[in-house]
Amino acid sequence: MLSDNGTPPYPVPINAMQARDHVRSLIEASGIVDDGGAAADTLTDALLVTSELVTNAIRHGGGIVDFHAAVAPDGLRLAVTDANADHPVTLPRPPGSVGAGGFGWPLIRRLTRSVTIRPTPQGGKRIEVVMPLDAADRPADFPDLR
């Protein structure tokens, strides 16, 4: 979403920390996470998804081109645009193997209600996710990923 002068209403984050700070501010201002417990887990999940989307854009997508976050009636809406048209993939991992990376995209898919990937006119992609903010809509706990 652009402001009246055609610029983002906040600067595009240059790293995951800036994106998480913005999302944390949005969620805290909404009053969703004022009591700890499941609400705190919801915030943690939202920050994890934000971090993974932004980190993937930086590491695999040629950098962040645009970023948008908003609290809406259906949950947290995040959109990260990068410069690479390639869609994220989940590589098969042999049971018991340990390697760097490869967990982010499955986490994003698990913690969000919907994921949409659209090409951009500039040749990149925009990944939009909606994640539930109501603790009752959160996914069940993860099995042990080790």
Residue 89, in any domain of the structure: yes
Residue 3, in any domain of the structure: no
d(CA 71, CA 75): 6
According to DSSP, residue 136 is labeled G
CATH number assigned to the domain comprising residue 34: 3.30.565.10
Global confidence as pTM = 0.81
Residue 2, in any domain of the structure: no
Residue 11, in any domain of the structure: no
Residue 6, in any domain of the structure: no
How many structural domains comprise the chain? 1
Q: What is the mean pLDDT of the chain?
A: 83
pLDDT (tens place) for every residue of the chain, 146 residues total: 444 444 456 689 999 999 999 999 999 888 876 555 667 888 999 999 999 999 999 999 999 999 999 999 999 999 999 999 999 887 776 777 666 667 788 899 999 999 999 999 999 999 999 999 875 555 555 443 33
* Angle (CA) 47 52 54, round 5°: 95
- Angle at which helices 16-30 and 38-60 cross, to 10°: 150
**pLDDT tens digits for range 69-103:** 999 999 999 999 999 999 988 777 677 766 666 77
